[in-house]
Amino acid sequence: MRAPPARKSGQVYFFLNRSVPFLLVALLAGCHSAPAKRVNAGDPFDPNQWNGGGGVAAEQNRGEALANIALGLRGIRYRYGGSTRDGFDCSGLVFYAHRQLGLTVPRTSRDQAEQAEEVKPRKLQRGDLVFFRIGSRRVNHVGIYIGERRFVHAPGAGKPVTVNSLDDEFYEKNFESAGRFWEQEPR
């Protein structure tokens, strides 16, 4: 038997029917994911590259990553009670930076000082916390140590997140203790 002559709609169906394998291959090829971003070998502490795992080296990287996160927040305005990029107070800065690495810390500087693993000042490492008593008998200020006796903090109203030195007379006089949270397991 002979097939009836194709009508226009049948011709479209025939074309689509023959084209499905080609279209399917073309669509699937377009869904292939882009190659993974290469990590810059010069920046092993990029917090975006940290996967939350690893032994001692990864813990050290967390401290480095924490210091780098804090440095990246310089210039953000002070906001009492703030813990977002819209504004930080001192403990909110610490809370936010740790959160970026999946680490949980208390919200206030006093609680952070009480619950942190104690670190001797001569053993400070990048990412450690430095605590101060400013006009108080209790800890009421905190910063993130970045090395070379410097720390990042949100100093107070009207002043953005900045870097200061533990050797500055004011901070040296009011220094209370140091602590660490970055060795804990992320949650």
2 alpha-carbon distance from chain centroid: 71
142: closest CA among 115, 123, 169, 122? Answer: 115
Question: How large is the angle between the packed helices 90-99 and 56-72, nearest 10 degrees?
Answer: 130
Inter-residue contact 65 to 45 (CB < 8 Å): yes
Question: What does the alpha-carbon distance between residue 2 and residue 13 come to, in Å, rounded to a whole number?
Answer: 19
140 CB neighbour count, 10 Å cutoff? 19
Does pLDDT of 14 surpass 60? no
Specify whether the CB–CB gap between 143 and 92 falls below 8 A.
Answer: no
pLDDT of 149 above 70? yes
Active site residue 153: yes
- 32 as an active site residue: the answer is no
Provide the pLDDT confidence category of residue 133 given band limits of 50, 70 and 90.
Answer: very high
Q: Tell me the two tokens of residue 61.
A: 């990287």
Lowest pLDDT segment from 6-10, 105-109, 134-138, 140-144: 6-10
* Long-range contact pairs involving 77-86 (C-beta distance under 8 Å, separation at least 24): 77/160, 78/154, 78/155, 78/156, 78/157, 78/158, 78/159, 78/160, 78/161, 80/157, 82/154, 83/107
Q: What does the domain layout of the chain look like in residue ranges?
A: 54-180
What confidence category does residue 124 fall into, taking pLDDT thresholds of 50, 70 and 90?
very high
CATH class for the domain made up of 54-180: alpha beta
- Residue 98 is a catalytic residue: no
Question: Residue 1 — very low, low, confident or very high, per pLDDT cuts 50/70/90?
Answer: low
The token pair that represents 152 in the structure block: 């990042």
Rounded alpha-carbon distances, angstroms, from residue 26 to 3, 12, 19, 31, 187:
32, 19, 11, 9, 42
pLDDT number for residue 185? 82
